[in-house]
Amino acid sequence: MIHNQHLFHIPVMGTGHSIDSPIRVAHLGIHSVISIVDDLLCEKIRKHYSTEYQIPYKNIPRSAGDGRAERITAYLDTVSDIVNQKFEDLKESPLFTGSQKDRYFNLLPDGNPLKKSYEFISSLGDKESREHYIRELTDKMTPGAIDVNIMAKVDALRLDNDDQPMSSEFSDASAALRGFANSKLESSVVLSAGFNPRLYNYLSEFRDFYRDQSGKIKKKIILKVSDFRSALIQGKYLAKKGLEVAEFRIESGLNCGGHAFASDGHLLPILLQEFREKREQLQASFQPLIQKFYESRGWDYPSNDSDVAKARITVQGGIGTHGELQRLLNDFEMDGTGWGSPFLLVPEATCVDDFTSDLLAEAGESELYLSGVSPLGVPFNNIRGSGSEIHTKELIDKGKPGSKCPKGFLVSNTEFTENPICTASAEYQILKVNQIQDSDMPQMKKEREKKKVLAKTCLCTNLGTGSLIRLGIMKPSYGRQAICPGPNVAWFDRQYSLDEMVNHIYGRQESLVPSKRPHMFAKELVMYVDYIKELSEQIDEDEQEWKKLIKMRRNLDKGMELCLQISEEKPYKGENLESIRTTVEKQQERLDEIFAVTA
């Protein structure tokens, strides 16, 4: 894995918003993550950049036998070639002339060894010494990583020409993994959205995920996890197959972009505290299992513990100020952070169309909400007024709800059909609405249930539309753009340059957000109480469901105690700790009101 010279990375955002981020920022040393869920989108983007960079292009048709994997491999190889060329060109640039090479070093965090060397060389007067040190420094430069994301449980089994299920290696997630494994990249796959044993077993079929004779792992594994227990279970499962986890990425259950996988009320500070206290347990649990596997295969494994890198632990979800960054790195001892939604307003870094970019810049807290639009049935962070929302409403108004389901990545429902279909499809929505209408439930409940059904939208297509419009592949009039920002973007109100955003992250300029912005821990708490309130209004008098909410409330109470302790500490620069205290007090009152019915 390429060492991250920065204290942040740009996580995956939708299927299209970070799909070309490495082309935009990797030559400047910034890590980012591409979604490879949509191989058809990858193919269109590959064609675009092949033309722009004069790279030979041959279409891989949908009818190709292993087309999904081949399209992903071809796209990743193209991105790799472009990034490598841009990086080599940058290295050849002169220093101290305001070049992109100077920008590379100026973007680095203060205190970074490369930046210190750059500043030292700039002070030298002797030309010969300067040139010597510049060559040495140039040799130490590294590009940003081209990492890829696979949603582990978005893993539909495909049908052959006779409508029979194909073998498991042709499932969506397995084919995507094969596409990455067969690429020339030396980077990481980020596995998110749950534990998929079939996919995890398939990892072991590719030698690049293991150490070579020199001890190097060409392709590494990053797990996005919700808590320590999940990290331990998944890490052990992989370790028994000799597979090492290079990094655990902790993400807030709700205060994030995209799909939100709510925890049982475990707030981020509680989760981070456990990782900080038990991180040595991870290495101690995995290492013997990995070594045993290598021994069983007769493979060499580093005998010295110092030669085995410990898994990095990073965090993402709602980070918005330099002070919050400092707390995560210093107090919770995280190795790095992920900054997603703010970069949606940085055109140099992400691929967002003008209409959606303006929508994001103008959005306040009330425009950003946890929606039910995802066919996965998982809460989805959304924005009001998107092209996708407008298009979905137009279809409903015409009496023709639902999508034609052109891609089928999210097919999972077999309520009405033998083969799975998508809950955002016209086929499903018509059948489901008719079923609700013919039921004997009260009319008010019928309307509520029909509204839930019709809210589902085609994320497979719509999450990639904005990138196609931005690149000029599709006309803006097509619309339908979906985007999945975290609520944090409400406090960023215009487009920013890459330098502005990076300097904001490192606290090198006036903050881009107002001082009244609530702390990330405060915002997460509010979102959990909102979530509990919504659930409480849906479960009526179901005793078991109330027990689950009571458990969440108990966990929230523990989290609020820790939040109050943090609020009493000395704030880092730009850190609004006062908002934590006032938020805890208010949310405790709200919880008392919600649970008064069970008293």
DSSP codes of every residue in 30-98? --EEEE-S-HHHHHHHHHHHHHHTT-------TTSTTHHHHHHHHHHHHHHHHHHHHHHHHHTSPSSSS
- Read off the pLDDT of each residue in 558-567 and give the average, rounded to a whole number: 97
β-pair partners for 151: 192
Average pLDDT score over residue span 291-312:
85
Sign, Cα dihedral of 38, 44, 48, 54: positive
Type of residue numbered 64: A
- The pLDDT-based confidence of 306 (bands split at 50, 70, 90) is low
- CA separation for the pair 420, 367 (Å, rounded): 33
Coil vs helix vs strand at 129: helix
pLDDT recorded at residue 127: 81
Range of weakest confidence among 147-161, 335-349, 450-464: 147-161
User: Which of 545 and 318 is assigned the larger pLDDT?
Assistant: 318
Place 408 in a pLDDT band, splitting at 50, 70 and 90.
confident
Mean pLDDT of the chain: 93
pLDDT tens for each residue of 176-207: 999 999 999 999 999 998 899 999 999 999 99
Residue-wise pLDDT tens digits, 508-524: 999 999 999 999 999 99
pLDDT tens-digit readout, 428-456: 999 999 999 999 989 988 999 999 999 99
pLDDT in tens, 143-175: 999 999 999 887 777 777 777 777 788 888 999
- Residue % of the chain over a pLDDT of 90: 81
Q: Does pLDDT of 125 surpass 60?
A: yes
> How does residue 1 score in pLDDT terms, banded at 50, 70 and 90?
low
Q: Please report, in angstroms and rounded to a whole number, the separation of the first and last CA atoms in the chain.
A: 54
Q: Residue 598: its pLDDT value, please?
A: 61
Question: What is the mean predicted confidence (pLDDT) over 374-397?
Answer: 93
Render pLDDT for 23-76 as a digit per residue (tens, 0 to 9): 999 999 999 999 999 999 999 999 999 999 999 999 999 888 899 999 999 999
Q: What is the 3-state secondary structure (H, E, C) of 564-578?
A: HHHHCCCCCCCCCCH
pLDDT of residue 234: 96
Identify the band that residue 599 occupies on the pLDDT scale cut at 50, 70 and 90: low
* pLDDT, tens digit, 9 for 90 and up, residues 206-236: 999 999 988 899 999 999 999 999 999 999 9
Is residue 310's pLDDT more than 90?
A: no
Top-ranked range on mean pLDDT: pick from 123-132, 269-278, 368-377, 419-428: 269-278
User: Who contacts 442 (Cβ-Cβ below 8 Å, separation ≥6)?
Assistant: none
Q: Report, as an integer, the average pLDDT of 271-289.
A: 94
| Closest by CA position to 575, among listed 498, 500, 521, 494 | 521
CA–CA distance, 520 with 503 (Å, rounded to integer): 19
Torsion of the alpha carbons at 438, 441, 444 and 445, rounded to the nearest 10: -100
Q: 596 falls in which pLDDT band (50, 70, 90)?
A: confident
Per-residue tokens: 81: 């070639």
186, 147 Cβ separation under 8 angstroms: no
Residue 307 pLDDT exceeds 70? no
Show the CA angle centred on residue 136, arms to residues 132 and 137, nearest 5°.
115
pLDDT of residue 305: 64
Inform me whether the pLDDT recorded for 542 exceeds 80. no
| pTM, rounded to two decimals | 0.94
